[in-house]
Structure 1
Amino acid sequence: MSITSFLFDPFTYDFMTRALLTALISSVVCALLSCWLVLIGWSLMGDAVSHAVLPGVVIAYIVGAPFALGAVIFGFLAVGLIGVVRDTSRVKEDAAMGIVFTTLFSLGLVLISITPSQTDLQHIIFGNLLGVSRADLLQIAILGAIVLGVILIKRRDFTLYAFDPIHAHAIGLSPRILGATLLGLLALTAVIALQTVGVILIVAMLIIPGATAYLLTNKFSHMLIIVPSIAVVCALIGLYMSYYLDTASGAMIVLSQGLVFTLAYLFSPSHGIVANRRALARRNRSGAPTVEATATTP
């Protein structure tokens, strides 16, 4: 097989072309949002929202409404419930997230178990990238444009909120509104990624690219360039691998992202395990004091 055939044969099928566009849109949107989620420490929030949309999707299926409508409603509902539990009780935010998302996810599983036709709903749990229709692609493109537009317009405010919410408040910004906006974008992004990887793996696409870029650079502006690049490359690798190996497309995309993170974790020039050990070895050979050696006991 020639290189040209290897690269272009999969996309002679319409479903593969739609899958590629869907994977690129959802991967890039998730990757960009992951920059702020990683910096703020909202990994569990991404997990909470992505799982909490399941009952909304099932109810939408039962009543014949678009999946996105039910997912958006329950995504915002989950965010609201987490805030209510956190603000009106002694329960801390991480516990509130765990309670809300596991309860709503369980509700979704119960609804699936009592719904006569479960085929489409299983796709929501595990993803159905190769089954994306033209209408699904249009919906994903519109939601993706909305999320990207808000990110581009408010990126400086979000960044200040992530690094120093007190300073953001001092200059007239509302940390509460910025946080609510990010949570809203998170709910919309979960809807976008449903078709690609399903409810279970959405959190991976929301965390891995940002965490990878965080290991590769110390500048946030560089992160915003690195994460979409990682997302695009992993989406392409995942689709090609799934086509030629006959495996699940969404899972292969996430697996590709996990492998890229592993490489960054090991070989990042500034924060990789290998680089850190080499630097430590050089310091030991040169006789330079290490952090441990120079530390003082309080």
Structure 2
Amino acid sequence: MIDLLVEPMTYAFMRRALLVVAASGIAGALLSCWLVHMGWSLMGDAVSHAVLPGVVIAAMTGIPFSVGALIAALVAVALIGGVREAGTVREDAAMGIVFTALFSLGLVLIARFPSQQDLHSILFGSVLGVRDSDLAQVLIVAAFTVVVLLAFRRDLIMVAFDRVQAHALGLRTRALLALLLATLATATVAGVQSVGVILVVATLIIPGATAQLLARTMTGTMVLAVVVALAGGVTGLYFGYYADLPPGPVVVLTQAVLFLVVQLFAPRRGVVPRALAATRARRSGMMAA
């Protein structure tokens, strides 16, 4: 067993991949607690797809991929906010319009410059091909996301649970929401390198959704979300290595399996415990009658 765990780490590319999966997983897991609670899953989907043209342009111009992806993510957030503030369409429609337009722009750029782009690695990640410079970028943006979310944790929790009360207490709710959107952009940039543009939304949703089924407080949800992300990320990376499968999709599938198990067997909210409790209640009612 020890040999199975140690052998992959003898390769430098696996050590870099593990660091990327861990860093992006922690950042995405913490943010997912807010995205799931506030119903911002579609926003995460929109931003994750909208970074594609930024990644492609970064590859074309030779600038760091995180810079291009971050600029594209911030542009997407600004465009969604602008379309929404115009009041002509609903927020979900604004997200759909912006992210499909930017994603299509990215695909057009890839088609226009096919020799310079690897569509598969952009869409589904290339964590095993991470270079030292890529690793440094991921660590920086992931660290920014984690530090911001932890430093403003109390204020962001207040805004998430009761925005009106938070405003009444003197909190700058609009600034805090803008900060949360900025962390969404940075967490997306961190996750793109490990699981790609298409699948990064899963790492921004699954850990928080899984943790909510188990925890009763926001702090507990954050801790469990990180555990789910790390367990799914590390397990998926090892399984992909030994099964000769692409790590990105395997990481997401592993997290999805964890969610399914928790959804079925979570002590208070799981499908099976609730079904058993309902059966016991019916039996007690029949006996009492």
Question: Under TM normalisation by the shorter chain, which class is it?
Answer: over 0.9
What residue number does 2:229 align with?
231
- What do residues 8-61 of structure 1 show as CA deviations (whole Å, max 9, x unaligned)? 011111100110111011111101100000011000000000000111111122
Percentage of identical aligned residues: 52
- Post-superposition shift, 1:116? 3.8
What residue number does 1:16 align with?
14
Q: Conserved in 2, the CA contact under 8 Å of 1:126 and 1:199?
A: yes
What residue number does 2:33 align with?
35
What residue number does 2:111 align with?
113
Distance 1:278 1:59 in 2: 54
Distance 2:44 2:214 in 1: 22
Q: Which amino acid aligns with 1:133?
A: R
What residue number does 1:76 align with?
74
- What do residues 92-134 of structure 1 show as CA deviations (whole Å, max 9, x unaligned)? 1011001100110000001000014244453121100100011
Greater mean alpha carbon deviation, residues 60-69 or residues 152-161:
60-69
Secondary structure at the aligned position of 1:173 is classed as: coil
When normalised by structure 2's length, the TM-score is: 0.97
What residue number does 1:214 align with?
212
Distance 1:232 1:100 in 2: 31
User: Within 5 Å, which residues of 2 pair with 1:219-298?
Assistant: 219-287=217-285
Greater mean alpha carbon deviation, residues 114-123 or residues 221-230:
114-123
Q: Which amino acid aligns with 2:164?
A: I
Q: Give the alignment partner of residue 191 of structure 1, picking from 189, 192, 197.
A: 189
Q: Conserved in 2, the CA contact under 8 Å of 1:58 and 1:121?
A: no
What residue number does 2:137 align with?
139
Q: How many correspondences in the alignment?
A: 286
Secondary structure at the aligned position of 2:88 is classed as: coil
Structure 2 unaligned spans of 5+: none
What residue number does 2:179 align with?
181
RMSD, aligned CA:
1.1
Q: Which amino acid aligns with 2:182?
A: G
Secondary structure at the aligned position of 1:287 is classed as: helix
Distance 1:110 1:116 in 2: 10
Secondary structure at the aligned position of 1:253 is classed as: helix
Distance 1:276 1:118 in 2: 53
Q: Which amino acid aligns with 2:48?
A: S
Distance 2:190 2:62 in 1: 19
Distance 1:119 1:108, change over 3 A: closer
Distance 2:6 2:82 in 1: 51
- Post-superposition shift, 1:90? 2.4
Secondary structure at the aligned position of 2:170 is classed as: coil
- What do residues 141-193 of structure 1 show as CA deviations (whole Å, max 9, x unaligned)? 11111111111110111111110000110011122111111111101111111
Q: Conserved in 1, the CA contact under 8 Å of 2:127 and 2:248?
A: yes
Distance 1:156 1:131 in 2: 38
- Post-superposition shift, 1:194? 1.1
Distance 2:56 2:249 in 1: 22
